Structure 1
Amino acid sequence: MSDTNPAGRAAPARTPSLTERRKAATQLDIARAAAELFTERGPDDTTAEDVAQRAGVALRTFYRYFRSKQDAVAPLLAGGADRWRAELAAGTPPGTAVPTALERSIAASLAAEGEEAAEGLRWTRGLLRAAAHDPALRAVWYRVNQESEERLREVLAGLAGPAADPLEVRLAAAAATDAIRIALETWSETDAPVHGEASPAALAVRCLRELTGGLRILGAADGKG
């Protein structure tokens, strides 16, 4: 089911309950612990018990939330995309062309404004480097991107309006998701800083322009198509 209203705009997000917020906080603590250990030791030399101990939770708590040690980093990898989609849905002014909205939102989401955002990119770099030698961790990364693409399709459908071609919406969602994925993977293979010409933001914008060059998509994000 779509989360857009009849006018085509994204519906306001439901406020999570206290229980949901506590669950999300615990999952993020475990994810950060796993990321630290994977960066320090590599996935092969890290166990689920190690992750639980570093996070300060019981092993049974770890397995209540995650199926494997690699799966534990999914919330950390998905967090930036979740915030990006929410800001794209809520912060795109009426009348903005959807390709323009995508480019601006991607550049802003990867701009690493502030130390917390820069640290998040550095965590991602460490995890992607570890994933290069760990198929299970790489599978988590691809799954996170696939789930993000599916959710982005709903956001773009709401922005483009009911007259938009569903195939064009789907292609745009795939292009935007892949632009970010390829940019982060490319950046992670280097020692480039989080800002500048070789930064994730610059690479993602370049990828997006290349991938969407042939799309006719979605003139203005005004909910009318």
Structure 2
Amino acid sequence: MSTKPPSSLTERRKAATQLDIAHAAAELFAAQGPHTTTAEEIARQAGVALRTFYRYFRSKQDAVSPLLAAGADRWRALLEAAEPGADLFRSLATAVEESLAAPDEEAAGALLRTRGLLRAAEDDPALRAVWYRVNQESEERLVPVVARLADGRLDALRVRLVAAAATDAIRIALETWAGTEAGVTGDGAPSALALRCLRQLLGGMDALSLAADGETPGPSSG
């Protein structure tokens, strides 16, 4: 799902219906697992006809893709608001920290829901495929954002490397956290793990000149 708000009433209704279906699928997956959950049950839980379900989603696993993509959408929106030419690593790290923070019950609930879906994906190849697809799409959408922030300091190859590393940092952090009982805040939380991953993955890319000329690249500090 795009970070751009739906522009018409029809699009807003479509987005709301997709989200209702996604929440219904996540609830049923958590309660009884994706293997035993059917598309009919998801549609019934969401209060829509089965044909409406298949109008928006190809499979029951695909129905949770809006929820899995929501975090990446928030992160990308934060990056889109950053100023071009600033320290790129610092911009990435700040966006990661803010997008994975849990300042309220709604944000904490979203993270815990993602944990449940990632745990369910361990035994469901189709759900894993949805997760990987969401990450691939997120990486592709991140490329022009990184290019804008780099403001000409990185060539096309290095822009793609940064986008890939940043996307993988969040993916690996969430997958690692999902396999633990750590909370949504603290050292083992998604935000802390993602920052560690970001430093490790971008720490070997000092030649990318992530900071402005004459500054020390962010990954080498701290």
Q: Same-fold call, TM > 0.5?
A: yes
Q: Cα offset for 1:158?
A: 0.9
1:80 to 66, 71, 74: 71
Task: Tell me the amino acid that sits aligned with residue 211 of structure 2.
Answer: G
User: What secondary structure sits across from 1:45 in the alignment?
Assistant: coil
Structure with more contact order per residue of length (Cα contacts < 8 Å, sep ≥ 6)? 1
1:36 to 27, 30, 37: 27
**Matching residue of 1:123:** 113
Q: Check if 1:219 corresponds to 2:211.
A: yes
Q: Counterparts of 1:106-145 in structure 2 under 5 Å?
A: 106-145=96-135
Task: Tell me the amino acid that sits aligned with residue 74 of structure 1.
Answer: S
**Matching residue of 1:152:** 142
Task: Tell me the amino acid that sits aligned with residue 7 of structure 2.
Answer: P
Percent identity reads 67
Query: Which whole-Å CA distance do the structure 2 matches of 1:14 and 1:70 have between them?
Result: 24
Query: Which whole-Å CA distance do the structure 2 matches of 1:180 and 1:163 have between them?
Result: 24
Aligned length: 209
Q: Check if 1:207 corresponds to 2:207.
A: no
1:97 to 82, 87, 92: 87
Query: Which whole-Å CA distance do the structure 2 matches of 1:29 and 1:66 have between them?
Result: 12
Query: Which whole-Å CA distance do the structure 2 matches of 1:127 and 1:220 have between them?
Result: 39
Computed over aligned residues only, the root mean square deviation of the Cα atoms, in angstroms, reads 1.7
Task: Tell me the amino acid that sits aligned with residue 214 of structure 1.
Answer: G
**Matching residue of 1:187:** 177
Task: Tell me the amino acid that sits aligned with residue 96 of structure 1.
Answer: A
Query: Which whole-Å CA distance do the structure 2 matches of 1:82 and 1:105 have between them?
Result: 11
Q: Cα offset for 1:122?
A: 0.5
Task: Tell me the amino acid that sits aligned with residue 161 of structure 2.
Answer: L
Query: Which whole-Å CA distance do the structure 2 matches of 1:179 and 1:106 have between them?
Result: 9
Query: Which whole-Å CA distance do the structure 2 matches of 1:66 and 1:99 have between them?
Result: 36
Query: Which whole-Å CA distance do the structure 2 matches of 1:97 and 1:35 have between them?
Result: 38
**Matching residue of 2:217:** none
* Shift in alpha-carbon separation, 1:200–1:69, aligned structure 2, 3 A: same
Task: Tell me the amino acid that sits aligned with residue 165 of structure 1.
Answer: D
With normalisation by structure 2, the TM-score equals: 0.90
User: What secondary structure sits across from 1:85 in the alignment?
Assistant: helix
**Matching residue of 1:58:** 49
Task: Tell me the amino acid that sits aligned with residue 111 of structure 1.
Answer: A
Q: Cα offset for 1:67?
A: 0.6
**Matching residue of 2:218:** none
With normalisation by structure 1, the TM-score equals: 0.89
Task: Tell me the amino acid that sits aligned with residue 22 of structure 2.
Answer: A
**Matching residue of 2:58:** 67
